[in-house]
Structure 1
């Protein structure tokens, strides 16, 4: 297990010399003379160990009761998580970067379970509209939906294919040279060129992209950066940022997710997310109250802030609700009233970022959300984020797209969907396109359906005329491909028939088949069609590739 997580001395953690065929293929792929194209960069990236291969090593822990035993004290040193930051620092050094280099950046570090992507989108949009004050803005987020370039943005736009390829190979080659030097120092003559030049000498996917993002920001003269955690905070790869690089941090809405890595209770997860707090800096979070484990989670956040000598700013729901948020002038992404809580966190963090950049030492009079919104309203209105509460219109079809994939986020998606249905007129057919491959699909469907029922009322009856459950594969299987496992999709269809007996269900092996079924139903029945596509970012990403086939990857 450890050898998958640690940058061990050669031979590396993913030996390629399993067979002569793989050896020859690897030598061809990683030849130093090959073209340094964008397509080549993607092929190299795809060869790296996936995040899933690593996160699957963390089996969910036994349930831990919410009690005073959960505190700000550090978890066991035996925990695999505890190795993460030392390992990441080692990889960073191999790529030719040090924390002193990262200290040249000024970052807002964002953690959370729900809403962190939205907070990052609002922050990016706000900061790019005050360039004289913040300089060039870089943004690092995950996951991507269509193109990996979405993860690394410069001034609010995905990095170009040309720049991605250039900087990708600068990092790849630096890691290769470090491996070659290490092999020479160790005198190990059994190390092949493929092992040195290939993925065996590289960190796993998210770590590599995190290093690449920092490299891009430094090479492109980024001054202000918005950096989103991947999973957690304390042990997340992005948390190699030194204290002097962070102007403010944000912990968006907390919820239960990634329990194998973060813990099975809200207080445990709060402990991990609080890792983004830095000495002398403010951390903004939505104040929790009333729900299971929420008071305890807030206590943990306060203890962690004291431990880290940070200032925790707890944003009250009443303050946000009195303010009301800033509404978009047209439909698009980041819709729904719940976004006002994410807007509030972004406003406060952006104002603090500007104060720190200005070098102001005095504590300013607290600005109301209305005051801040007046300063930054254009940024809030024009923020965009693919696949988050996003409405897309194509002729007779309206696609309501949201990557919600936990019980809590699906309840939020249900509220958004119900609001759209209340506001719409006509008798359009309504379709659910759904998948979740890794979690309990029946429970997630119950959460979505129950949330819609609470908003629209049980008297409405059928919320969906059709429900299609698809794998996340973009295209249908080829003739020589083995049959795809549809057990999860079948379980979802069975659960849907229990929840809504009058909904017509179908199971398909790919998203393009699902879209074809929806289009065929429209041709048969005529009229308008509204499709709610949700349950997985992978599903949403596949759908967007089909709806926008000419989009640049």
Structure 2
């Protein structure tokens, strides 16, 4: 019998159908508000069937006392998830507190957080094999012939990956299994892609205290549609009957707000609380000590505070003063935050999001963020501009995103280039015989930008030589201005850089 170690669990997990393969199945889909109707029509029934094979019905998740804040969105959903979990952790009555997020940066265990820490390797392995064995046994049961999923008769090796769900579905059900087995009372669950057809939407209304849609943008168009309205339709699929929903009021986009309001009514949400940008702007925030940095985090903190308050109220917490008002989704929410909320918002962390550390090898400060959409890269540019003066090297993404990031970082009227060096690299850690055409096009796009005059550019075939080059530049710069290195473009890149630099130790 094969060993049941953490390493063996990772080996088997890698055998499952990848997220990339699932997304690729939509590549020829018609871009309608719901994506491909045929594929999407099967999504939730299949997830429910896999959940039954794991030994659960959706109602079972609520029966044991699990209560969840469900978070969807294009930008900020990971941060909001971490922020809500950190606030709830300040209240003993809310615990044990857990979170489910994606993607991971360094280790898959980051996706399942227990009491603010990635699940331990031994626990991950134990629960992984419990679930693996349940799927194997269920595939051979008489009921397997009727649920439309692969059976032991269909698979040459019923104990192998053929009788298991694809990667993200498996991890979602694993997280729920862990929450039940660990007696988690409060969980914050982040969607993967979309919302309406996302595996996390198997959560029943009885197990959800608040649904949150963060900032929206264009992403995964083959699955979600190619307009903000169609994407909003998908993300708002997590709204639940009798459960309040929270979002940022977008006065500049009446079409998106109309979709969100219609979906809230359609789903029977008890309310759609729309946080006003003016209220957020007037809020003093939580000070300079917040570990999740960047000016855009203020909006994420506001959403997180609203959702955390609702969750605690649903658990029976009674607040005092202005914060106790029923309409605390308005100005009273932010102006009367309890000290526990401020501590939680300051303490929240998330790997690969606005993460800063000093590299002892070169003495440079590394600023890393896995941003990969236009809006999120612009936000990273603002964050970087707030921390760095001109004359810093960076590792950077593709052509359009490069322009957006450079523009946000440079600001208006920059007289000198923000980056003295720009390094374009693939995500793989070691050199391989790979095409670098994308990196070369990104390099050319940067050179064409008005603010890039004087920026020295480099194209490198892998992360390790890119890190070595950045360190070499930083050591030379150490004679004068302290050097900062910006790393952005994807979570794959950020993870590879953190491992290469040696900053992959869990906090």
TM-score normalised to the size of structure 2? 0.91
Q: Distance in 1 between matches of 2:415 and 2:478?
A: 22
Distance 1:385 1:192 in 2: 39
Q: Which residue of 2 aligns with 1:344?
A: 302
Whether contact under 8 Å (1:328, 1:382) holds in the other structure is no
What RMSD over aligned residues (CA atoms) do the two structures have, in Å? Answer: 2.3
Could you tell me how far apart the structure 1 residues matched to 2:435 and 2:396 are? Answer: 16
Distance 1:76-1:57 versus aligned 2 partners, 3 A rule: closer
Number of matched pairs: 486
Q: Which residue matches 1:466?
A: 421
Does the Cα contact within 8 Å between 1:348 and 1:372 map onto a contact in 2? no
Match of 1:389 in 2: 354
CA deviation after TM superposition for structure 1 residue 510, in Å: 1.2
Alignment of 1:471-510 (within 5 A): 471-477=426-432, 483-499=433-449, 500-510=452-462
Instruction: Sort the Cα spacing of 1:205 and 1:185 in 2 relative to 1 into closer, same or farther, 3 A.
Output: closer
Whole-Å separation in 1 of the counterparts to 2:415 and 2:355:
24
* Bigger shift: residues 146-155 or 517-526: 517-526
Farther-moved stretch of structure 1 (348-357 vs 413-422): 413-422
Helix, strand or coil at the partner of 1:372: coil
Whether contact under 8 Å (1:122, 1:346) holds in the other structure is yes
* Separation in structure 1 between the aligned mates of residue 67 and residue 484 of structure 2, nearest angstrom: 43
Q: Cα 1:550–1:185, aligned 2, differ >3 Å: closer, same or farther?
A: closer
Distance verdict in 2 for CA 1:57–1:325, change over 3 Å: same
Asked if 1:125 corresponds to 2:86, the answer is: yes
CA contact (8 A) 1:469 1:489 kept: yes
Is the CA contact 1:324–1:340 (under 8 Å) kept in the aligned structure 2?
no
Query: Structure 1 residues 185, 239: CA separation in 2 closer, same or farther (over 3 Å shift)?
Result: closer
Task: State how far apart, in whole Å, the 2-side matches of 1:372 and 1:359 are.
Answer: 14
Counterpart for residue 443 of structure 1: 400
Whether 2:159 is the aligned partner of 1:197: answer yes
> Is 1:536 aligned with 2:490?
yes
Instruction: Return the alpha-carbon distance in structure 2 between the equivalents of residues 82 and 127 of structure 1.
Output: 35
Question: 2:224–2:234: 8 Å Cα contact kept in structure 1?
Answer: yes
Q: Where does residue 149 of structure 1 map in the other structure?
A: 109
> What does the per-residue CA deviation read over 1:174-196, in whole Å, with 9 as the maximum and x for residues that have no partner?
1011112259969x9965552x1
Following the alignment from structure 1 to structure 2, what is the Cα–Cα distance between the partners of residues 78 and 185?
25
Contiguous gaps of at least 5 residues in structure 2? 319-323
Summarize the alignment of residues 320-339 of structure 1 with structure 2, pairs less than 5 Å apart: 320-329=280-289, 333-339=291-297
2:370 corresponds to which of 387, 394, 403: 403
The alignment status of 1:547 with 2:507, answered yes or no, reads no
Match of 1:39 in 2: 7
User: What's the secondary structure of 1:44's corresponding residue?
Assistant: helix
User: TM-score normalised to the size of structure 1?
Assistant: 0.83
**Match for residue 220 of structure 1?**
182
Structure 1 523/358 Cα, relative in aligned 2: closer, same or farther at 3 Å? Answer: closer
Trace 1:19-418 onto structure 2 (pairs within 5 A): 33-59=1-27, 75=34, 78-103=37-62, 104=64, 105-131=66-92, 133-181=93-141, 191=154, 193-194=156-157, 196-290=158-252, 294-310=253-269, 311-329=271-289, 333-358=291-316, 364=326, 366=328, 367-395=332-360, 396-418=363-385
Aligned residues of 1:326 and 1:373 also touching (Cα < 8 A): no
Shift of 1:364: 3.0
Distance across 2 between alignment mates of 1:189 and 1:349: 43
* CA gap 1:79/1:316 in 2 versus in 1, 3 angstroms: farther
Asked whether the 8 Å contact 2:306–2:333 carries over to 1, the reply is no
- Residues 348 and 190 (structure 1), Cα distance of their counterparts in 2 relative to 1, 3 Å cut: closer
For the residues of structure 2 that align with 1:182 and 1:93, how far apart are their CA atoms? 13
SS of the residue 1:416 aligns to: helix
**What is the DSSP-based 3-state SS (H/G/I as helix, E as strand, rest coil) of the residue aligned with 1:296?**
helix
Is the partner of 1:551 in helix, strand or coil?
Answer: coil
SS in 2 for 1:343: helix
Query: Per-residue deviation at 1:359?
Result: 8.2
